[in-house]
Structure formats: C-alpha cells, structure tokens
Amino acid sequence: MAKSSNQKTKLLRLCQFLLTQTDEDHPATVSQIIQELARYDIRAERKSIYDDLESLRQFGLDVQCRKGKAPGWFVGERDFELPEIKLLMDAVQSSRFITQRKSDTLLRKLERLTSVHQAGQLQRQVYVSGRIKVMNESIYYNVDKLHTAIAGQRAITFKYFDYDLFRQKVFRQEGRRYTVSPFGLIWNSENYYLVAFDHAHREMRHYRVDKMTEIVVTCLQREGRERYPDFQLAQYGQKHFGMYSGQEMKVTLRGRREKAGLVWDRFGQEVILVPDGEEHFLVTLPVVMSPQFFGWLMGLDGSLSLTAPREAVEAYRQKLAAALEQLGN
C-alpha cells in the first residue's frame, strides 16, 4: 500500500497530540495514539510509535510513560508549570491597561501552553471587583514601539493628549509633537509610564503611555545620558508617588520599629533604617513632593511622621490644614 502524503507529518502530529491532549492525569495509550494519527490519514504500527516517542524524548520533549492500572504516555515537564500560567493569567485579568478584547486573546494563548484538560482548570484565582479596563488598545502597540526605541537608543516624537468630559481627545501643546529620548518604562498606579529625557526642557520627565499617540521612532541618537550619567529607572519610580511631578527633596521619616515594613514595601529592602531610641527608627529618602506623597503619609494614620527638612514639614502641615478646612466647609 502506498504511503499517504500525510506520513511526513507523523512526528509533528504526534508531538501536537501529546502536548495538547495529555498530562500526568490524562495519559494516552499507544492504541489511542494510533487512532489519533488515523484521523489525519497517517498509518502507524505499535513499534513505530515507540520509536517516534523515543525520538521526541531525544529531541527534548519530556515524554513519560506511566504503568499500572491506567498506563499510557504523556508530557511531563513543560516550559510553564500550571501555577505559573495561572499567575500570568491573573496578571492579564487584573491589568487595567490591557483592554478586555486583548485580555481575552492573551488568555486563549496562555491556555495553549498546557493540555486541554489543565486548561479547564485555569480559572481566575484573583477576582478583581469592578475591574476597569482601558478602551485605548493602541497602548499595546505603543509599548512595542517604545521598546524598539529603547533598544536602539533612538529618540521619538509623539503627540500627547487628555480627555474632556465627552471622551474627546484634547492635545497638549496645541497638538505640537514632543521630542524625547526614552530611558525606560515604569508600571505604576496601574498605568504604564515612559520615562524619557525631554529635548525641549533638557530634563527627565515621564508620560502616560496610553495618552501618547502617533509615536515615531526617529534616526536621532538618544540624548540625556551626559546630563544623567547615573540615572536609575527604579529609583525614579520610587521617588514619584503615583508618578506625580514636583520638587525633589531628601526627607526624613520617623516611625515605630514594628512599622519598618511600611518603608521596605514602598522603597525596597535595601533602604537603611537607623535606630532612634529603643522603639523608633529614622530613614532618609529622596522623594518628590506631591499631593500623592502627602496622601500616602496621611493614609498611614500616623505610623510614619515627617520630621525633616523644615520646608517639607511646613508643606505637609499646610496640606493637612487645607484638608481640615475643606471638611469644615
């Protein structure tokens, strides 16, 4: 009998079947494998199946055999374990900047990283009540362009906008294009921000990626490294609460020792705390003075107090006084 033209795809079909239809709890017998291949008009004998399974194992696929009451062959270790895929799916579902349509597409792709049986278990473990998704799907492609510019160390131009009450775009700078040199992307307060050297103002600034449009990667070399030779993206994000701009200061905070975790959670484990008596500590940090920083302090309900410098303390007092006055009105 002449061989079917589909015989050439035999090993590929076998690999696909094992990856999508088998796992440790759902092994496939040789008979089931032969029946699956027959669906594609591929003839196979038991001995050839064993040879093919060994070829796939030598290629690097973790093909395992289970003996006992329910014997069969299955794929064991995969590139992603089931808990890892669940984490990725939770991240997609809970990310505000990914539109619902793009979220659904990504989730379907993640499900294909495991068997159809395990894909049925990939229900969301993180439930975010009333999660608001952005409507602007162009952010997905904006990030891709920005990565290209960052990797190539190129400047970009773009238009920047806000929304009015009717969800219409209102362009800043009367629609004139910004020219900046990207240094990196920061995920902060459920939004993506581009941190870049602004060519016009000759300083480092940040921009919400979902409010950028008509991005063009230019042939201009990136600027700003001479002015900011030791620039650290992580430190920039730590200093800007909620990515609000303002004057940068070195501030001193005082708190009880059991509240040290509040500082480490916000600024990282490498921050050094200095004991202040038996029950308190002091920490000095660079922070951008902004309503978000003061709001963070207020939200801690006195667990941390601002002690220096004097101008920062005075600004905080004024913010508290203004808040109390608004409550009185």
Q: Please tell me what DSSP assigns to residue 302.
A: T
Domain annotation for the chain: domains and CATH numbers: 5-75 (1.10.10.10), 139-231 (2.30.30), 241-328 (3.30.70)
52-56, 101-105, 228-232: the lowest-pLDDT one: 101-105
What's the rounded Cα separation, in Å, for the pair 20 and 74? 10
Q: What pLDDT score does 328 carry?
A: 73
Q: At a CB cut-off of 8 Å and minimum separation 6, what does 80 contact?
A: 88, 113, 114
97-101, 132-136, 321-325: the lowest-pLDDT one: 132-136
pLDDT, average across residues 49-72: 94
Of residues 83 and 9, more confidently modeled:
9
Q: What pLDDT score does 197 carry?
A: 98
Q: What pLDDT score does 187 carry?
A: 84
* 78-129 confidence digits (pLDDT tens): 999 988 998 898 888 877 778 888 888 898 999 999 999 888 877 544 444 4
Helix spans in the chain (H): 10-21, 30-38, 46-59, 82-94, 100-111, 116-119, 139-152, 233-239, 260-267, 291-299, 310-328
Q: What pLDDT score does 128 carry?
A: 45
Q: What pLDDT score does 56 carry?
A: 97
Whether residue 309 is preceded by a cis peptide bond, meaning omega within 30 degrees of 0, is: yes
Q: What pLDDT score does 136 carry?
A: 65
Q: Which of 3-7, 33-37, 78-82, 208-212 has the highest mean pLDDT?
A: 33-37
Give this prediction's pTM. 0.64
> CB of 50 within 8 A of CB of 92?
no
Q: Calculate the average pLDDT of the chain.
A: 89
Q: What pLDDT score does 134 carry?
A: 66
Q: What pLDDT score does 329 carry?
A: 65
Please provide the size of the chain in residues. 329
Query: Nearest to residue 289, comparing CAs of 271, 272, 306?
Result: 306
pLDDT tier, 141 (very low <50, low <70, confident <90, very high otherwise): confident
What's the rounded Cα separation, in Å, for the pair 239 and 210? 22
pLDDT, average across residues 271-292: 91
Assigned token pair, 4: 């079917």
At residue 132, does pLDDT exceed 60?
Answer: no
Of residues 199 and 107, more confidently modeled:
199
pLDDT tier, 68 (very low <50, low <70, confident <90, very high otherwise): confident
Burial state string for 276-305 with b = 16 or more CB within 10 A and e = fewer than 16: eeeeebbbbbebbbbeebbebbeeeeeebe
pLDDT tier, 273 (very low <50, low <70, confident <90, very high otherwise): very high
Of residues 129 and 133, more confidently modeled:
133
Q: What pLDDT score does 156 carry?
A: 98
Q: What pLDDT score does 1 carry?
A: 44
Query: Nearest to residue 303, comparing CAs of 272, 324, 281?
Result: 281
pLDDT, average across residues 264-291: 90
Q: What pLDDT score does 124 carry?
A: 43
Q: What pLDDT score does 129 carry?
A: 43
